[in-house]
Amino acid sequence: MVFDPFGDYKTRGYLRNVLGSKDTGELRQIEHGCFIANAESAAQTLRGHPKLSYAAILQVHRTLFQDLYPWAGTDRTITAPGLEISRGGVRGIFALPSDIQRAAEHGLLRGSDVGTIRHVPGEIMGLLKFAHPFLDGNGRALMLVHDELCRRAGFHIEWGLTSQKEYLKALTLELHDPKGKHLDTYLMPYKKQGGLDLERSVASLKALPGLNTG
């Protein structure tokens, strides 16, 4: 079944994309192209915020995807206020629309504490992913936010050494069992000292396939 929160898939395409396309495979490729084109600008914007806020998350998503989705940068409280997002038929692994901002701000608050994110970078990623602010494009947008939180704490994740399959497996377990430290267990071996400069940081993320998990 096609994800159709607006109820107009037949007339306006998947999630009202500007092309009116119904081909989700094609759209995934275009989303990746948007990320490649706009990631540096989005990352630069994040670095300009003295303190990362929920508004910064919205701004990053808008910068990345405004060329494809007219609603880019608008969260589910506006785009689908009555819809509970599930995955694989399982409910409760993502925040309800009314809780999105609170959940994201909780992740940002903990992630902005240097001692906390150095100790539990996977937990912070899980908190941000739980918020799931947008109908699509969460993976790439939140990866940039997490990367910036890590940089401010003086380290980075060596994403080029990770496995997409194993990361997504750990992320799924984290969402189902937030206290199980699944993402921390997976990510800690790839935690390296020193924040990356803008060019290296963006290049490492651009090289990753499958960042967008909805």
Domain assignment present for residue 3? The answer is no
Domain assignment present for residue 175? The answer is yes
Q: What is the CATH number of the domain that holds 40?
A: 1.10.3290.10
Tell me, what's the pLDDT at 87? 81
- Domain span at 42: 9-206
- Three-state DSSP at 115 gives helix
Token pair in block for residue 143: 């990866």
The residues, any chain, with a CB within 8 Å of residue 25's CB and separated by 6 or more, are: none
> Which position has the token pair 């921390």?
184
Domain assignment present for residue 39? The answer is yes
Domain assignment present for residue 67? The answer is yes
Domain assignment present for residue 214? The answer is no
Distance in angstroms between the alpha carbons of the first and the last residue of the chain: 15
Distance CA 139, CA 135 (A): 11
Domain assignment present for residue 2? The answer is no
Domain assignment present for residue 1? The answer is no
Q: Tens-digit pLDDT profile for the chain (214 aa)? A: 899 999 999 999 999 999 999 999 999 999 999 999 999 999 999 999 999 999 999 999 999 999 999 999 999 999 999 999 988 778 889 999 999 999 999 999 999 999 999 999 999 999 999 999 999 999 999 999 999 999 999 999 999 899 999 999 999 999 999 999 999 999 999 999 999 999 999 988 887 755 545 5
Domain assignment present for residue 15? The answer is yes
Please answer whether residues 102 and 128 qualify as being in contact, where contact means their C-beta atoms are separated by less than 8 angstroms. no
The count of domains in the chain is 1
The residues, any chain, with a CB within 8 Å of residue 197's CB and separated by 6 or more, are: none
